[in-house]
């Protein structure tokens, strides 16, 4: 009898241990009480809730019908929402959205009280990606790490747009990758696919837009570039991204700048695609690239001819632009025969009207079409930091008219171009006739329309990543755009009434226009030492500016 009792005790203990281990495994794997199964075109998708500061969030995609989105209980212990026991099978439509609800669960006789909130995104596409490992850990470990996977892309209405194998998903980007939790990604499919009608291709990009609280900058700038005729502008669309069932936020699914009939459609033989970059950032990486004689750094994205030939073609352009007579010494050709002036002017102006923070410096693309034997400006890229998102730029910034890139050895081709009467007049004409009316429309109603399309998606993204209000960011952008337009109107109407200050501060060169006889009040004065870059003499930002000057900010050690 004692042996039987002992056996029963042992079996009971083992069962309890098994139940406890099962619970611990579930908690470790899931870390949340329930997941949600969403009927989708031809099947279903399962998404996990997400937890921060004692609140569990259920992020529903825009296409989901809350009355068909079913809760699936993951824990073995009782779970209650607003004192109602959830047994699985309940639908999300039974609970109010965007309200914190009381969540109670019991484990090992102890009761825990937290909150749960149900939210739903805007009517935008939804992208699910499952990696081969079921985790993003390896990809996030190092930017170069890649992993295979599978994607499903749904339209805003919930129709399956594409299901495709991913041969490689990897991290990409520079400052966004290094300095933000929300990572940008590159995707390479095993076969070409036409995603959301943007043209069939294997390579795609997911832009995180982490430093853009408005979430509209890249989309707005790309659409604007397309409207004013900037060739081969990449198409892009907002998507809600779910990685291995976890909500990853609001992303921008974008075409990649590459030579292809669906993208940069130029002759492959003899042509090339390059981008201006920071030389120190790319040093030591295994990329095809070259420095010009004026220390500008170009990364090669496509080479239909040897690197030596690419460097030679680009150098001829640089030499002609900087030559006093505007002629390339090697060929005798004028600068405006070596480049497509219209596309360079459109790109220059795009950076200026949007006060693009990295104008003429980082991730700025150019292509050479061997059929036309000219270098063209574009396609546009990397426009998330525009309209003073950084909060560091006054309205009188001359975004593209900066003589030096990073130091005095790196001289800007665009600065020299702007000194040429014909180029400057082209820029002014494009501004008056094409850009300015569209900019005013953006400030009036356009930016609000962009925000309205993604408002609840942006709200979910704010919760997930702790970002600031997109409404406030768009308001600031609108105000800045109107101030910047007013400045450009005055500046381009009478440049002779202005002086240009070239300013070196925090290892960045910027150019600003100051009305002759007025002080540079936009520069900080209290506790800051400024000096003339050439002479070292003090420069008083509160004194009237009467001529063009090159100045720099002195840090505490130098002072």
CA-CA distance, 120 to 98, in Å (whole number)?
8
Q: How far is it, in rounded angstroms, from Cα 295 to Cα 325?
A: 22
- Name the DSSP class of 35: E
CB distance 81 to 116 below 8 Å: yes
31-120 under CATH 2.60.40, yes or no: yes
The answer to whether 31-120 and 495-559 have equal CATH topology is: no
- Distance of alpha carbon 119 from alpha carbon 59, whole angstroms: 5
Spatial separation of the C-alpha atoms in residues 471 and 451, rounded to whole Å: 8
Query: Where in the chain are the domains?
Result: 1-30, 31-120, 495-559
- Concatenate the DSSP letters of all residues of 319-353 into one string: HHHHSTTSB-TTT--BHHHHB-HHHHHHHHHHHHH
Are 211 and 268 within 8 A, CB to CB? Answer: no
Residues 6+ apart with CB under 8 A from 472: 213
Q: What is the 3-state secondary structure (H, E, C) of 411-454?
A: ECHHHHHHCCHHHHHHHHHHHHHHHHHHHHHHHHHHHHHHHHHH
Instruction: Tell me how far apart the alpha carbons of residues 500 and 352 are, in angstroms, rounded to a whole number.
Output: 15
Whole-number pLDDT of residue 14: 42
Strand-strand pairing, 101-107 and 50-52: unpaired
Q: Report how far residue 251's alpha carbon sits from residue 256's, in angstroms, rounded to the nearest whole number.
A: 15
Residue 351 near residue 377 (C-beta atoms within 8 A): no
**How many other CB atoms are there within 10 angstroms of residue 394's CB atom?**
17
Q: Burial code of 298-324, b = ≥16 C-beta within 10 A, e = fewer? A: bbbbbbbbeeeebbebbbbbbbbbbee
Query: CB-based contacts of 136: which residues, under 8 Å, 6+ apart?
Result: 243, 244
Residue labelled with tokens 């006060």: 355
Phi-psi region of 65 (alpha: psi -120 to 50; beta: other; left: phi over 0): beta
Report the 3 state secondary structure along 83-152.
CEECCCCCEHHHCCECCCEEEEEEECCEEEEEEEEEEECCCCCEEEEEECCCCCHHHHHCCCCEEEEEEE
Contacts of 529 (CB under 8 A, 6+ apart): 538, 553, 554, 558, 559
Contact indicator for 326, 335 with CB cutoff of 8 Å: yes
Q: Can you give the C-alpha Rg of the chain in angstroms?
A: 28
pLDDT of residue 283: 65
Which residues of the chain fall short of a pLDDT of 70?
1-31, 282-284, 556-559
CB 20 within 8 A of CB 8: no
CATH architecture designation of domain 495-559:
Roll (3.10)
Residue 391: the pLDDT is 83
Q: So what's the pLDDT on residue 29? A: 37
Decide if 257 contacts 273 (C-beta within 8 A). Answer: yes
CB 501 within 8 A of CB 511: yes
> Contact 98/60 with Cβ under 8 angstroms?
no
Q: Which helix (H) or strand (E) holds 312?
A: helix 307-322
């Amino acid at each position: 009898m004692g042996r039987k009792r002992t056996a029963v005790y042992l079996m009971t203990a083992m069962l309890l241990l098994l139940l406890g281990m099962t619970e611990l495994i579930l908690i470790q794997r899931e870390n949340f009480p329930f997941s949600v199964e969403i009927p989708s075109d031809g099947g279903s998708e399962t998404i996990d809730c997400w937890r921060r500061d004692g609140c569990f969030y259920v992020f529903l995609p825009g296409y989901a019908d809350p009355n068909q989105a079913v809760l699936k209980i993951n824990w073995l212990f009782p779970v209650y929402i607003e004192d109602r026991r959830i047994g699985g099978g309940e639908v999300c439509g039974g609970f109010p959205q965007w309200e914190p609800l009381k969540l109670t669960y019991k484990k090992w006789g102890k009761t825990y009280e937290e909150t749960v909130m149900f939210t739903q995104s805007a009517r935008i596409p939804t992208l699910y990606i499952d990696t081969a490992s079921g985790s993003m850990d390896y990809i996030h470990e190092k930017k170069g790490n890649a992993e295979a996977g599978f994607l499903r892309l749904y339209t805003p209405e919930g129709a399956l747009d594409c299901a495709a194998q991913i041969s490689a998903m990897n991290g990409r980007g520079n400052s966004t990758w290094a300095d933000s939790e929300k990572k940008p990604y590159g995707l390479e499919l095993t076969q070409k696919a036409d995603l959301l009608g943007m043209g069939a291709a294997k390579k795609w990009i997911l832009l995180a837009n982490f430093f853009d609280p408005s979430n509209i900058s890249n989309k707005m700038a790309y659409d604007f570039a397309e409207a004013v005729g900037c060739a081969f502008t990449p198409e892009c669309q907002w998507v809600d991204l779910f990685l291995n069932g976890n909500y990853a936020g609001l992303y921008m699914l974008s075409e990649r700048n590459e030579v292809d009939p669906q993208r940069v459609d130029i002759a492959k033989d003899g042509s090339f695609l390059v981008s201006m970059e920071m030389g120190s950032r790319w040093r030591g990486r295994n990329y095809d690239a070259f420095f010009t004689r004026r220390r500008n750094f170009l990364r090669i994205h496509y080479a239909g001819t040897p690197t030596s030939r690419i460097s030679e073609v680009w150098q001829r352009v640089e030499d002609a632009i900087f030559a006093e007579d505007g002629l390339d010494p090697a060929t005798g050709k004028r600068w405006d025969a070596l480049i497509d002036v219209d596309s360079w002017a459109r790109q220059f102006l795009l950076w200026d009207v949007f006060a693009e923070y990295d104008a003429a410096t980082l991730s700025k693309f150019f292509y050479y079409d061997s059929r036309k034997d000219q270098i063209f400006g574009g396609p546009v890229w990397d426009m998330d930091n525009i309209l003073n998102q950084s909060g560091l730029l006054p309205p009188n910034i001359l975004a593209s008219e900066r003589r030096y890139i990073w130091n005095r050895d790196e001289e800007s081709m665009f600065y020299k171009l702007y000194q040429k009467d014909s180029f400057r007049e082209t820029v002014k004409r494009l501004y008056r006739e094409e850009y300015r009316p569209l900019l005013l429309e953006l400030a009036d109603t356009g930016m609000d329309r962009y925000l309205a399309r993604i408002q609840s998606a942006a709200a979910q993204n704010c919760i997930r990543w702790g970002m600031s209000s997109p409404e406030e960011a768009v308001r600031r952008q609108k105000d800045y755009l109107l101030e910047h337009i007013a400045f450009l109107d005055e500046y381009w109407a009478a440049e002779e009434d202005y002086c240009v200050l070239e300013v070196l501060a925090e290892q960045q060169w910027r150019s600003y226009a100051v009305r002759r006889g007025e002080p540079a009040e936009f520069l900080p004065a209290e506790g800051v030492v400024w000096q003339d870059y050439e002479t070292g003499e003090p420069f008083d930002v509160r004194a009237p500016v009467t001529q063009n000057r090159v100045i720099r900010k002195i840090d505490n050690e130098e002072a």
